[in-house]
């Protein structure tokens, strides 16, 4: 039986996240149904690399699924893109090893948080960035962001109900960059794993740093005490993108 490894992109504005839900439309459900239609079979179960929250986007999201179909990978990409709605696209497909699993084989992931930092809303970034119209101190945010790099207990940067789901809240962040281009600020974070709402809280903490509502000492305290109060606000989902998933060594 083949094990297909598929990368997709999606605009999450109209979905209640990736994961299948009982009473709301999810990316998973739409993709599974499209596969069933293309391969003329019961919709298979697909295994996603990540849950994403309602409204969150993915530039590159990986899933795998098993099939007996002999469809060529190129035909799968082409066929899926004619069936899927315009806000989901299949980027690539390949035959993976039998034991490949999109979630459990992940080595690291990269998220991007986009902030429209122009005074007025951007009609072309509707649902695609968080609008924060006040000046941001990028240098200050960049400096504070370095405190996140390394292996830390990120328990303070996790939504409460997320903590119960995981054995440990220790994660390693490899890199954080804060850049600005034409009034759009991009916070990019790569790490070996992320807790529930972690990127949205880290990004919100950097905004609080810029505003002076939190200090670098607060971040250090957050990492030591796991106390959520030392962190900043949880930013809304529309600015968040799963940017890349890394496998292999």
Shortest spacing between CB 118 and a second copy, in angstroms = 9
Q: Which is nearer to a second copy, 80 or 147 (CB)?
A: 80
Closer of 122 and 137 to a second copy (Cβ)? 122
| Catalytic (active site) residue 229 | no
CB of 72 to a second copy, least distance (A): 16
Residue with Cβ nearer a second copy (121 or 213): 121
Least Å distance, CB 28 to a second copy, is: 16
Residue found by looking up tokens 């240098």 in the block: 139
User: Could you list the residues that contact a second copy (CB under 8 A)?
Assistant: 9-11, 57, 59, 77, 81, 86-91, 120-124, 126, 128
Catalytic residue, from 53, 68, 95, 99: name it.
Answer: 53
- Which positions are catalytic? 53
């Amino acid at each position: 039986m083949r094990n297909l490894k598929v990368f997709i992109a999606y605009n999450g504005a109209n979905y209640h996240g990736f994961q299948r839900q009982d009473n709301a439309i999810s990316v998973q459900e739409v993709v599974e149904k499209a596969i069933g239609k293309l391969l003329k079979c019961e919709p298979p179960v697909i295994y996603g690399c990540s849950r994403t929250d309602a409204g969150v986007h993915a530039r590159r999201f990986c899933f795998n699924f098993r099939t007996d179909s002999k469809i060529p990978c190129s035909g799968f990409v082409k066929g899926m893109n004619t069936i899927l709605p315009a806000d989901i696209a299949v980027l690539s497909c390949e035959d993976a090893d039998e034991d490949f699993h999109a979630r459990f084989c992940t080595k690291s992931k990269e998220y991007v948080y986009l902030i429209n930092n122009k005074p007025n809303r951007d009609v072309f970034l509707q649902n695609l960035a968080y609008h924060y119209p006040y000046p941001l101190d990028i240098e200050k945010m960049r400096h504070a962001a370095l405190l996140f790099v390394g292996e830390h207990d990120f328990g303070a940067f996790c939504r409460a109900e997320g903590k119960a789901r995981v054995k440990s809240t220790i994660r390693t962040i490899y890199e954080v960059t804060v850049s600005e281009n034409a009034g759009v600020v991009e916070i990019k974070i790569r790490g070996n794993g992320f807790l529930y709402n972690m990127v949205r809280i880290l990004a919100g903490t950097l905004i609080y740093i810029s505003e002076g509502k939190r200090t670098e000492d607060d971040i250090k305290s957050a990492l030591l005490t796991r106390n959520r109060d030392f962190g900043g606000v949880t930013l809304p989902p529309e600015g968040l993108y799963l940017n890349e998933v890394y496998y292999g060594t």
